[in-house]
Amino acid sequence: MQILIKEVTLVIPGSSDSGSVRDVFIKDGIIQKIETAGSLSIPDAQVIDGKNKFLSSGWFDLHVNFREPGFEHKEDLNSGCKAAMQGGFTGVLCMPSTFPPVHSKSEVEYILNKAKNELVEVHVAGTLSHNQEGKDLSEMFDMSTAGARAFTDDKHSVQDAGLMTRALLYAKNFGGRVFSFADDTSISVKGQMNEGITSTFLGLKGIPSLAEEVMISRDLQLTQYTESSIHFSTVSTKTAIDLIRQAKKNGIKVTADVSALHLSMDDSSLADFDTILKIKPPLRSKEDIDAMIGGLKDGTISAICSDHCPEDPENKVKEFDLAAFGAAGLETAFAVAYGALRAKLDLDSIIDKFTNGPRRILGLPELKLKVGEAANLTLFDPKMEWTANDSTLKSKSRNNPFAGKQLNGKAIAVINKNQINFCS
């Protein structure tokens, strides 16, 4: 395969070449030439017009649910990869919330083998506890040897401090990465949305910010005690971010990500009881959004994820108290995040949160947009106007909060593994 991208603007965070306009030639999956714009002419190459478009390393999503095995009617590995490509992602980390959960090497091997030929690089997170029950450690080392990249009970927050301590110590022995979703369920109990003025007005039981903050404080202390490292998934409150920021200053090995949806909407968006927006952690306050943006600016938060949680209508189209948590978001994550951040962060900083930021957290090699490197790339237009509809949303599920809405910023194509996919 030969591809020539003409007159495209490079986005290479931290490089003096970022912002330069170049011709990029790719052959057999390798970047062969990066030359002055308009200078390259390659016979038989597929030519892509890159004028007013941008080219970066391939985007990576740290938090997706592809639901296979067990819940293929909501999403499967093939449809999940299609949604990822449509959103501009060439790599994803799949959460273990399947049926059965990914708690042994057989599930890890199944997912990796099923997805090995996809353009999207599918990485697997195994459970931290057996069956996500929070009682006994899972087969973490065996899963690691099978290819698991991280260990987490996903939205089933680990309540047992002793179990979390053992997990941190065990993972430390073989270089495993522990991901924590912070939620003290003795505080959040059966909360439905963020505790605040809107929850009081709607008569819905609130989920206090304290539930997240107490758990983050606990896990930071455990990480310091065990001299290990931890990653917090989808942090959402001001105090939580302050705690992580201070922990970094104190030398604790901690990283964090936020979801695109949490950057763009606050809890007032639930005023009409829209169950599509019932997510966990819940949409927070405007003050919390400002804190998340501040955390992205100063490096406290290293990555932006989609927190892609596809659900079927049977679990979403019902009374708010009974509806499932979760929103789909792979196809819209970049547009949503860019819309929330473009006036606050420069493009290089935003793209770093989608590319090497998440890869560094996972311990993957950083991608380089240079001659001789594998072509793992995302071509995108940050100004492109488009509508999220049936032709642009590829997920099996239709619980995307932005369905039917016009957005700005879209992936044009993704290139990886000597394959190319054009986004519709």
Is residue 125 within 8 A of residue 180, CB to CB? The reply is no
Report the SS3 class of residue 361. helix
Question: According to the model, what pLDDT value does residue 220 have?
Answer: 98
pTM of the model: 0.97
The fold of 58-362 is: TIM Barrel (3.20.20)
Question: According to the model, what pLDDT value does residue 93 have?
Answer: 98
Report the SS3 class of residue 51. coil
Known catalytic residue: 298?
no
* Per-residue tens of pLDDT for the chain, all 424 residues: 999 999 999 999 999 999 999 999 999 999 999 999 999 999 999 999 999 999 999 999 999 999 999 999 999 999 999 999 999 999 999 999 999 999 999 999 999 999 999 999 999 999 999 999 999 999 999 999 999 999 999 999 999 999 999 999 999 999 999 999 999 999 999 999 999 999 999 999 999 999 999 999 999 999 999 999 999 999 999 999 999 999 999 999 999 999 999 999 999 999 999 999 999 999 999 999 999 999 999 999 999 999 999 999 999 999 999 999 999 999 999 999 999 999 999 999 999 999 999 999 999 999 999 999 999 999 999 999 999 999 999 999 999 999 999 999 999 999 999 999 999 9
CATH number of 2-55+372-422: 2.30.40.10
Q: Cβ atoms within 10 A of the Cβ of 321, count?
A: 12
Domain with CATH 2.30.40.10 in the chain: 2-55+372-422
Reported in sequence order, the residue ranges of 266-416 that DSSP labels E, i.e. its strands, are 303-305, 377-387, 406-416
Reported in sequence order, the residue ranges of 80-161 that DSSP labels E, i.e. its strands, are 89-94, 121-126, 148-151
Q: Which tokens hold the place of 189?
A: 């109990």
Report the SS3 class of residue 244. helix
Which of 17, 307, 381, 390 is catalytic? The answer is: 307
Cα separation values, 381 from 149, 395, 408, 411, 417, Å:
31, 22, 9, 6, 22
Full DSSP string of 315-339: HHSS-TTTSPP-B--TTTHHHHHHH
Domain with CATH 3.20.20.140 in the chain: 58-362
- Long-range contacts formed by 31-36: CB under 8 A, 24+ apart: 31/369, 31/370, 31/371, 31/372, 31/373, 31/374, 31/375, 32/371, 33/371, 34/10, 34/369, 34/370, 34/371
Question: According to the model, what pLDDT value does residue 139 have?
Answer: 96
Question: According to the model, what pLDDT value does residue 21 have?
Answer: 98
Question: According to the model, what pLDDT value does residue 62 have?
Answer: 98
Question: According to the model, what pLDDT value does residue 176 have?
Answer: 96
Helix axes 347-354, 286-298, angle to 10 degrees: 90
Cα 192 from Cα 253, distance rounded (Å): 32
Using a 10 angstrom Cβ sphere, with 0-12 exposed, 13-18 middle and 19 or more buried, the burial of residue 380 is: buried
